[in-house]
Structure 1
Amino acid sequence: MKNLGLLTALAVLSVWQLDSLTLERRWLASGALVAYALVLMSALRRVQAGRASAEGGRDYWIAYATETGTARQLAQETRKRLRKAGYRADTLALNALATVEPPDRALLLVVSTTGDGDAPKTGIGWDDERVSACYAGLDFAVLALGDRGYPRFCAFGLEVTQRMQAAGARPLFAPVQVSQADPRMIDVWFRQLLPEQG
């Protein structure tokens, strides 16, 4: 990145040394060079971030399925607590699970149920039977969010649990079922994940 900044500065300086260009063209060329350098820097940052992500691996992936954002917020809080405890953890949408390698320790699933037991937007099509099969023999845990006022309380979270077990994944503990983001049950989730912090 520093070399790119230095090269850009040299290129702009060279433009100003050209006597054959009018003042207007010098400004135009300098602006174009700076804009191009900014585009290159942005692309380099993305590539470096992708490399670090691919090379670093993960102790935990926290996959969320959400309609209103609650599951995503709880997934981010889970990531924050795991990182504070020294683990490598990241979040992603449940239906993006096919795009990543399985984690080193466990897959954590924070999933909401909508309507009559349906998957939320970020959970639709998450498992084409290849995805859950990638986790055979690995540990997983489910935080299932719902509303006890509906007859199929936490149905999607329980369905995800069944699919993971059918594929051969091992549950760390029984699914934690939460009605309307009840903080007491969310605390149960964190205490089971990180008992030393409870």
Structure 2
Amino acid sequence: MRVGLKSLWLLLGLVLLLTWQLDGLAPERRWVASITLVLYAGVLAAALRRARPDGSNMEVRLDYRVAYATETGTARQLAQETCKRLRKAGLTAAPVALNQLSTVPVPERALLLVVSTTGNGDAPKTGIGWDDGEVSMRYAGCPFAVLALGDRNYPRFCAFGLDVEQRLQAAGAKPLFAPVQVSQADPRMIDAWFRQLLPKGD
């Protein structure tokens, strides 16, 4: 995205230069054309920023990246809450959809994953196709933790979240602690996630 913005402003500068070199164009019309072009470039720049997943800067290095895989929005909300608590502790963190993990830098401290399971152990919509084999390898040596969401009434409870955990560990990523498995958004287990992630005193 940063390259796109730079290209946009360079193109704008070139057009402005050409506009002012047109001898047949009255000075007042040159000013109108210039102001119009600057405003249009601002609109395009804003659109590019909004196009970034979760509104985050993809180039920024963070302490924590919180990836979520969600079908109904619960995992995304918990990922956002996780980011909020980390920031309150003085750390930098931002969420990203799990299947967009390849578009962001590896975090400085750890990768955190909030992962739902749907159907018969399936990936939710923002988790489909998340790893082509190369994505998980990018996190070799990176600490990580998984908050797996599911429903104990289904035989493959938290299967997708556990699969994500196994893929990362097989690629050489280092688990901070065992996956925290949550049934039907049980607040006690969600609290256990935050207690392990941010022990008192941190």
Same-fold call, TM > 0.5? yes
> What displacement does 1:53 show?
3.0
Query: Does residue 115 of structure 2 align to residue 101 of structure 1?
Result: no
| Structure 1 residue 40, shift from structure 2 partner | 1.5
- Taking structure 2 as the reference length, the TM-score comes to 0.77
Task: Note the 1:37-76 alignment, pairs <5 A.
Answer: 37-45=38-46, 53=57, 56-76=60-80
1:196 deviates by 2.1
Counterparts of residues 67-86 of structure 1 (less than 5 Å): 67-86=71-90
Measured against aligned partners, the alpha-carbon deviations of 1:136-155 in whole angstroms (never above 9, x if no partner) come to 11100000000011000000
The one-letter code of the counterpart of 2:92 is: R
Contact residue 58 and residue 88 of structure 1 kept, 8 A: yes
Distance 1:153 1:123 in 2: 16
For residue 14 of structure 1, what is the aligned residue in structure 2? Answer: 28
The alpha carbon displacement at 1:175 in A equals: 0.3
> Do the aligned partners of residues 34 and 75 (structure 1) sit closer, same or farther apart at CA in structure 2, a change above 3 Å counting?
same
Displacement of 1:88 after TM fit? 1.1
Q: Which string of whole-angstrom CA distances, capped at 9 and with x for unpartnered residues, describes residues 108-166 of structure 1?
A: 00000000000001001101110001111110000000001100000000000100100
Which amino acid counterpart does residue 66 of structure 1 have in structure 2? T
In structure 2, give the amino acid aligned to 1:128: D
Instruction: Measure the CA separation in 1 of the matches of 2:201 and 2:81.
Output: 14
Answer yes or no: is 1:167 the counterpart of 2:171.
yes
Q: Which has the higher helix share?
A: 1
Q: CA deviation at 1:43?
A: 3.5
Give me the CA root mean square deviation: 2.8
TM-score by length of 1: 0.78
Between 1:113-122 and 1:188-197, the stretch displaced more is: 188-197
Query: What is the rounded CA distance, in whole Å, between the counterparts of 2:82 and 2:36 in structure 1?
Result: 39
Closer, same or farther in 2 for the Cα pair 1:55/1:72, shift >3 Å? closer
Q: Does the C-alpha gap of structure 1 residues 116 and 55 become closer, same or farther in structure 2, counting only changes over 3 Å?
A: closer
Indicate the percent of aligned positions where both proteins have the same amino acid: 66
Q: How far apart are the structure 1 equivalents of 2:123 and 2:49?
A: 34
Q: Which runs of 5+ in 1 are unaligned?
A: 1-6, 8-12, 19-28
> Are residue 147 (structure 1) and residue 151 (structure 2) matched?
yes
Larger Rg: 1
Partner of 1:23: none
The residue number in structure 2 matching 1:179 is: 183
Q: How far 1:197 moved relative to its partner?
A: 6.0
| CA displacement at 1:93 relative to structure 2 | 0.4
Output one character per residue of 1:66-125: Cα deviation in whole Å (capped at 9) or x when no partner: 000000000000011111111111011000011111100000000000000000010011
Q: In structure 2, what is the Cα distance between the partners aligned to 1:106 and 1:154? A: 21
Contact 1:191 1:197 survives alignment (8 Å): no
SS of 1:126's equivalent? coil
**Cα separation, 1, equivalents of 2:178 and 2:93:** 21
Paired residue for 1:112, among 111, 116, 122?
116
CA distance in 1, matches of 2:177, 2:90: 21
Distance in 2 of aligned mates of 1:182 and 1:99: 31
